[in-house]
Amino acid sequence: AFAKNPALVLDFYNFRRRKVREAEPNRAHVALAELEQYFDVHIITQNIDDLHERGGSSNVYHLHGEIFKMRSVLNETVTYPIFEDIHLGDTAPDGGQLRPHIVWFGEAVPMYEQVLPLVHSADILLVVGTSLQVYPAAGLVFQVAPHIPIFVVDKNVPNVSMPNVHPIQQPATQGIDIFITQIMQDYF
């Protein structure tokens, strides 16, 4: 779509950026941040918003990019902050058109390799609010050791046929509190 109509795509993300600025972290975002008082918590998210950071989390990895960053079409490794709109004709210092720092379909997910060691060393994996249909992110559940408990919080828990999966069929805002209660009682 960007190749065919870049102005339309930029407008789409400009609109989304404005909506994210208006949004507020929910109970789940805040609760995950509160867990940092007791545990070494790393948030690996497919979301492009900054609600985890505004909720208080300090170790956040955005697999699919960040709405408040932009980059040149010529270089995906250098990013710049953006809080307003990106327009057709706005260029980076390298002369390339600026675009949102978002992973689009068909593009690599560069953060995936960075988060793999975190998943491999996890004591617990908590999966929140996902259908587990978007790869490669969905494949992270298969990267933990077989004895590591995986808690899946979602209104519609996807079918994951693994003995170490513990479903919590609730919205994230309620399911996180159930998880916290359960983890505190069962594991510590």
The residues carrying an active-site annotation are 64
> Smallest Cα–Cα separation from 158: which of 134, 174, 183, 176?
134
> Rounded to an integer, what distance in angstroms lies between the CA atom of residue 153 and that of residue 169?
6
Which residue spans within the chain are E strands per DSSP? 43-45, 60-62, 65-72, 75-81, 98-102, 125-128, 150-153, 165-168
Sign of CA dihedral 55, 59, 65, 70: positive
Q: Are 140 and 121 in contact (CB under 8 A)?
A: no
> Rounded to an integer, what distance in angstroms lies between the CA atom of residue 28 and that of residue 130?
14
